[in-house]
Amino acid sequence: MIISVASGKGGTGKTTVATNLACSLDTEVQILDCDVEEPNAHLFLDPEINSISTVNTAIPLIDETKCTYCRKCVEICRFNALTIVGETILTFSAMCHSCGGCMLVCPENAITESKREIGIIEHGQRGPLDFVHGRLRIGEAMSPPLIKQVRSFSNPAMTSIIDAPPGTSCPVIAAMKGVDFVLMVTEPTPFGLHDLRLAVEAVRTLGIPHGLVINRSDVGDDCVREYAAQQNLPILMEIPFKRSIAEAYSNGKLLVEVMPEWRDKFKMLFHKIENSLERGDDLS
Partner 1 sequence: MRELVIISGKGGTGKTSLTAAFASLAENMLLCDADVDAADLHLLMNPTIQERYDFQAGNQAIIDPSLCCECGICHDLCHFDAISTDYQVDRLSCEGCGVCVDFCPVKAIDFPIKTCGEWFVSDTRFGPMVHARLGIAEENSGRLVSLIREESKKRAQDSKSSMIITDGPPGIGCPVISSITGATAVVIVAEPSVSGVHDMERVVELATNFRIPVMICVNKYDLNLKQTLAIENFARDKEIRFLGKISYNPVFTKAMIQGETIFEYKPDADVCQVVSEIWDSIITGPEVNNVSHLEFSFT
18: Cβ–Cβ under 8 A, 6 or more apart, which residues? Answer: 5, 31, 33, 41, 161, 162, 163
Check residue 249 for interaction with partner 1 (CB under 8 A).
yes
User: Using the rule CB under 8 A, which residue among 206, 235, 258, 259 binds partner 1?
Assistant: 206
**Among the listed residues 111, 195, 212, 239, the single contact to partner 1 using CB under 8 A:** 195
Residue in 49, 52, 170, 229 binding partner 1, rule: CB under 8 A: 170
Residue 219 in contact with partner 1, rule: CB under 8 A = yes
Beta-strand (E) ranges in 1-81?
2-6, 29-33, 48-62
Examine residue 259 and tell whether it contacts partner 1 (CB under 8 A): no
Is residue 250 part of the contact set for partner 1 (CB under 8 A)? yes
Cα–Cα distance for residue pair 275/72, rounded to 1 Å? 55
- The single residue among 88, 100, 226, 275 that binds partner 1, judged by CB under 8 A, is 100
Is 104 an interacting residue with respect to partner 1 (CB under 8 A)?
Answer: yes
Are 22 and 15 a contacting pair, CB within 8 Å? no
Is position 163 an interface residue for partner 1 (rule: CB under 8 A)? Answer: no
Distance CA 277, CA 127 (A): 28
- Nearest residue to 256 via CA among 239, 243, 273: 239
CA angle 149–127–39, rounded 5-degree value: 40
Identity of the residue, 14 or 262, whose beta carbon is nearer to partner 1 in the bound complex: 14
Please say whether the beta carbons of 163 and 30 come within 8 A: no
Alpha-carbon span 44 to 277, nearest angstrom: 29
With CB under 8 A as the contact rule, the residue among 86, 127, 139, 207 that binds partner 1 is 139
CB of 168 to partner 1, least distance (A): 6
Cβ proximity of 132 and 33 under 8 Å: yes
132 binds partner 1 (CB under 8 A): no
Per CB under 8 A, 141 contacts partner 1: yes
Biggest alpha carbon distance in the chain?
Answer: 70
Taking contact as CB under 8 A, which single stretch among the options 124-132, 186-194, 229-237, 255-263 is the one that binds partner 1?
Answer: 186-194
Least separation in angstroms between CB 235 and partner 1: 20
Give the distance from CA 82 to its chain's centroid.
30
User: 89 vs 203, which CB is nearer to partner 1?
Assistant: 203
Q: Counting contacts by CB under 8 A, is residue 49 touching partner 1?
A: no
92 SS3 class:
coil
Backbone angles phi, psi at 159, to 5 degrees: -85, 120
**Shortest CB 49 distance to partner 1, Å:** 16
Instruction: Catalog residues that contact partner 1 under the rule CB under 8 A.
Output: 8-12, 15, 37-38, 40, 43-44, 76, 78-79, 97-101, 104-105, 136, 138-143, 165-173, 177, 189-191, 194-195, 198, 201-202, 205-206, 219-221, 243, 246-247, 249-252
